[in-house]
Amino acid sequence: MKILLIGKFPDFVVSGIGKKLKIVHLKKFEPGKNLRDIETSDIMVITAGVKVDRKFLERAKSLKTLITFTHGYEHVDREALKSRGIKFKSVPGSTPSVAELTFGLMISVIRKIPEQDGLMKKGEWKRDFGRELCGKTLGVIGLGPIGREVCRIARSFGMRVVATDPNKLMKGGMKVEMVSLDRLLKTSDIVSLHAHLNEETKHMIGRKELGRMKRSAILINTGRGGLIDSEALHESLRSGRIAGAGLDVFEREPPGRDKLVRLQNVVATPHAGADTIEGEERKIKILLDILKKKS
C-alpha cells in the first residue's frame, strides 16, 4: 500500500507520520512531474494548496482513498471522486484553534489592540476607548464544529448568540437561537462567518448584506474568503458603513498588499486559524488512525 503526501506539511507532521508508516512526500505538485508517484499511490494525503479535479484524477490511476489534511474541502472535486469510486476523508482537529483565533480577532478589533501596540512601539502612550464583548449580540453564520464551538465560547464572555446555518451543518445537542440571515445582520454587534464555501454561499456577504449591518458592527471571517465580496467589504469599511473587520481568509491567497488588508480598521492574519501545535498533533493522531485502518 503506497501512501503519498502532497503539499507543504510542517516538518514535524511529516516526521510524526513517517515514524509510524512508510510514506513518500512531494512538497509541491507540478503537472507533468512526479507522475510515477501520482500514478502508483493507493492513498494520497493533501493540503489545501493541492487542487484535486478530474484532470488530476486521470493521472491517479491506482488511487483508492484521498485524504485532505484540512477541515474544509473546497479544493476537492468530490463528485469526480465519487464517479471513480474513490473514498474521501477530511481531517478535522483544528476546531479549538480556529475558534480561539476567531475571538482573538474579535478582541483585537473591538479593543484596538494592534493600533495601541503600534503606538507603544513608537514610544507613544495614547489610550483609546474600545468596547466589551460582554452584553453584545454575536451572529454566527454556519454551525459546523467550529461555528458551534464559537457559540459555546461566546456564552462564557456573556454574549447573546444568534445563528443561521446555510449549509445545514448543525447536529442535535445544542441550543441556539436560530434566525434568518436578514435578522442576524440587522441585530448583531459582531458577525462571524463559519459556513462552507459553495455556489450558494459564495459572496453571501455583499454590498446589500453589509448595508443591513449596524454601523458599529464588526465582521469576522475565519471561514473562507469567498464568502465575502471583498470589493463591497472594502467600500463599507473605508466609508464607515461598518466599524471594522477581523480577517483570516481572503478571496485571493496570499493577498499581497491588498487594499483591504491595509485599512486601519482591519486586523488580518495569514489563514492561520488552524496553525497551532496542538491542532496539528490532534490531526496527526486522526490521520494515523485513518491510515492504519486503510493499510
Please state, in angstroms and rounded to a whole number, the distance separating the CA atoms of residues 184 and 177: 10
Distances in Å between the Cα of 248 and the Cα atoms of 23, 187, 215, 268, 271 are: 31, 24, 22, 6, 5
**Sheet order of strands, 177-178 included:** 177-178, 160-164, 137-141, 190-193, 218-221, 244-247, 266-268
Question: Residue length, the chain?
Answer: 295
The answer to whether 140 and 161 have CB atoms below 8 angstroms apart is: yes
Nearest to 102 by CA among 175, 184, 157, 183: 157
Query: Which residue matches cell numbers 454566527?
Result: 140
271 counts as catalytic? yes
In sequence order, what are the beta bridge partners of 164? 141
253 counts as catalytic? yes
If DSSP codes are grouped into helix, strand and coil, which group holds residue 184? helix
Please state, in angstroms and rounded to a whole number, the distance separating the CA atoms of residues 108 and 129: 13
From the candidates 196, 224, 234, 282, which is the catalytic residue?
224
From the candidates 39, 200, 253, 278, which is the catalytic residue?
253
Asked, as a colleague might, if the bond just before 254 is cis with ω within 30 of 0, I would say: yes
Return the H-helix or E-strand segment holding 177.
Answer: strand 177-178
- Would you name the residues annotated as active-site residues? 224, 253, 271
